[in-house]
């Protein structure tokens, strides 16, 4: 099986609801066998885009191709695509087996073949022995497995999942992330899922498309998305980030020298597309966990600034601290694993500390957006 890079191809798709542009000129290519996430805040159009792929909405313009065939105007029952609905949409009048076998009636299989396929699907989602249960007699996690099996039993070319884990409680959700990923690797089907939970997207997907206001802002692997976001919006949505306004002064080897006002002259990572011209206004983004607290100034090469602790919050395995740099509008947030012996507390507020970070931790982002 050669993995076609444009197995699912979305070409300049737009969908309006009245005056609302739910999906606004989105183009995406998703490869065969890829685990792809559509990530964004609620109302960003990700679910509408998924429903367009499933055939539940027709785009106002643009087209959708799946495995080379134009699917733009095909109804859901004529697409080689199946969906796992957010509330799982398990048929309440049918038992687990009947739910899973629902879509096989039309495929011209014998009763024997249907039973075999259902058994196979039950085994795939680890529900052996529960086939006779009524749809209302299984737990939330099991319902999700039924929904998965019901879609997978059809051997779709693409499986769509709408917020697949949002209806589960926290522990089950974390377990299902691992299982869903393993399941996708096992069956090798292209999975496209929608989520507003960035951790979910980062932990499961091969690639993530981040959407805001109906537009795709960045498509990247989880690591690239986190380490090298290309805009302030994306950087702020994926994890959290400190933003410092700065003006470019020039490049120095693999670092960019910027004047960051109250923070002084600092060194930041050189953007992949080269150094911006001197005098350009930029934003330097630094992840909270990449800022290091120290009692004394660091050695050469690292950036550092003196700051005053304003707040501390203890979160178990890590703590969040907020440090004010004189002249900055917002305090900087610092995340630190609680492995060090010394914890800072609310009572330590006001104490002066050094903040240091390596130049590569400073991500240079365009000032607009």
Partner 1 sequence: MTSAAQSAARANPILRLGKSVQGALFRYAGLRGYILFSPTLLVLVGAMCIPVGMLVIYSFWTQKYIEIDTTLTLANYLQIFNKTSYMLLIGKSILISTAVTTATVVLAYPIAYFIAFRVHQHKIVWLILITVPFWTSYLLRVFSWKVILGYNGVINSALKWLGIVDQPLAFLLHNPTAVIITLAHAWAPIAILPIFVSLEKIDRSLLEAATDLGDGPVARFLRVTLPLSIPGVVAASMLVFIPTVGDYITPQLVGGPDGLMVGNLMHAMFFKANNWPLGSALAILSAAAITVTSLAIWFLTKHARERAK
Interface positions with partner 1 (CB under 8 A): 54-56, 75-77, 81-83, 85-87, 89, 91-94, 98, 102-103, 105-107, 150-151, 154
Residue 83 C-beta: closest distance to partner 1, Å: 5
Reported for 315-319, long-range contacts at CB under 8 A and 24+ positions apart, including other chains, are 319/343, 319/344
Residue 23 C-beta: closest distance to partner 1, Å: 18
The CB density around residue 261, as the number of other CB atoms within 10 Å, is 14
Token digits of residue 341: 């012996």
d(C-alpha 265, C-alpha 304), whole Å = 10
Phi/psi for 156 (5° steps) reads -70, 160
Residue 160 C-beta: closest distance to partner 1, Å: 9
Residue 18 C-beta: closest distance to partner 1, Å: 14
Please say which residue, 40 or 55, places its beta carbon nearer to partner 1: 55
Residue 114 C-beta: closest distance to partner 1, Å: 13
Please say which residue, 90 or 201, places its beta carbon nearer to partner 1: 90
Contact 303, 266 (CB under 8 A): yes
Residue 13 C-beta: closest distance to partner 1, Å: 19
Please say which residue, 76 or 279, places its beta carbon nearer to partner 1: 76
Phi/psi for 183 (5° steps) reads -65, -40
d(C-alpha 183, C-alpha 195), whole Å = 18
Element (H, E) at 268: strand 265-269
83 class by beta-carbon count within 10 Å (0-12 exposed, 13-18 middle, 19+ buried): buried
Please say which residue, 79 or 177, places its beta carbon nearer to partner 1: 79
Q: Which residues of 180-196 are buried (b: 16+ CB within 10 A; e: fewer)?
A: bbebbeeeebbbbbbbb
Please say which residue, 135 or 307, places its beta carbon nearer to partner 1: 135
Question: Within its chain, how far is the Cα of 54 from the centroid?
Answer: 20
Residue 108 C-beta: closest distance to partner 1, Å: 11
d(C-alpha 80, C-alpha 33), whole Å = 14
The CB density around residue 45, as the number of other CB atoms within 10 Å, is 25
Local structure of residue 44 (DSSP, 8 states)? S
Any residues with CB less than 8 A from the CB of 246 and at least 6 apart, and which? 258, 259, 260, 261, 263, 266, 268, 281, 282, 283, 284
d(C-alpha 92, C-alpha 72), whole Å = 31
Please say which residue, 11 or 54, places its beta carbon nearer to partner 1: 54
Please say which residue, 56 or 243, places its beta carbon nearer to partner 1: 56
| Closest among 196, 116, 125, 197 to 159, alpha carbons compared | 125
Please say which residue, 108 or 129, places its beta carbon nearer to partner 1: 108
Residue 104 C-beta: closest distance to partner 1, Å: 9
Residue 327 C-beta: closest distance to partner 1, Å: 53
Residue 253 C-beta: closest distance to partner 1, Å: 55
Please say which residue, 168 or 292, places its beta carbon nearer to partner 1: 168
Please say which residue, 38 or 244, places its beta carbon nearer to partner 1: 38
């Amino acid at each position: 099986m050669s993995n076609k890079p444009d197995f699912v191809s979305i070409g300049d798709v737009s969908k309006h609801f009245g005056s609302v542009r739910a999906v606004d000129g989105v183009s995406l290519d998703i490869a065969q066998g890829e685990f792809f996430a559509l990530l964004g805040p609620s109302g960003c159009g990700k679910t509408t885009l998924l429903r367009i792929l499933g055939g539940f909405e027709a785009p106002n313009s643009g087209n959708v191709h799946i495995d080379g065939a134009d699917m733009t105007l095909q109804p859901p029952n004529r697409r080689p695509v199946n969906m796992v609905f957010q509330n799982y949409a398990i048929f309440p009048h049918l038992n687990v087996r009947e739910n899973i076998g629902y879509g096989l009636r039309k495929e011209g299989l014998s009763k024997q073949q249907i039973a075999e396929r259902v058994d196979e699907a039950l085994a795939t989602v680890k529900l052996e022995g529960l086939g006779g249960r009524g749809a209302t007699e299984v737990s939330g996690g099991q319902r999700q497995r039924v929904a998965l099996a019901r879609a997978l039993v059809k051997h779709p070319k693409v499986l769509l999942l709408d917020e697949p884990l949002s209806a589960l409680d926290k522990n089950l959700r974390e377990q299902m992330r691992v299982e869903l990923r393993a399941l996708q690797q096992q069956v090798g089907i292209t999975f496209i899922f929608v989520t507003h939970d960035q951790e979910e997207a980062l932990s499961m997907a091969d690639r993530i498309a981040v959407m805001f206001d109906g537009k795709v802002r960045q498509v990247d692997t989880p690591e690239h998305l986190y380490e090298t976001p290309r805009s302030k919006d994306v950087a702020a949505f994926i994890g959290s980030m400190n933003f410092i306004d700065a003006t470019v002064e020039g490049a120095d080897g693999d670092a960019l020298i910027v004047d960051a006002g109250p923070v002084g002259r600092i060194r930041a990572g050189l953007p992949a597309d080269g150094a911006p011209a001197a005098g350009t206004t930029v934003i330097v983004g630094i992840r909270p966990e990449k800022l290091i607290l120290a009692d004394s100034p660091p050695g050469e090469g690292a950036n550092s600034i003196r700051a005053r602790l304003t707040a501390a919050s203890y979160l178990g395995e890590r703590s969040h601290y907020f440090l004010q740099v004189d002249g900055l509008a917002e305090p900087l947030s610092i995340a630190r694993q609680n492995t060090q012996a010394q914890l800072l507390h609310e009572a330590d507020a006001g104490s002066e500390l050094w903040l240091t970070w390596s130049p590569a931790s400073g991500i240079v982002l365009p000032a607009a957006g």
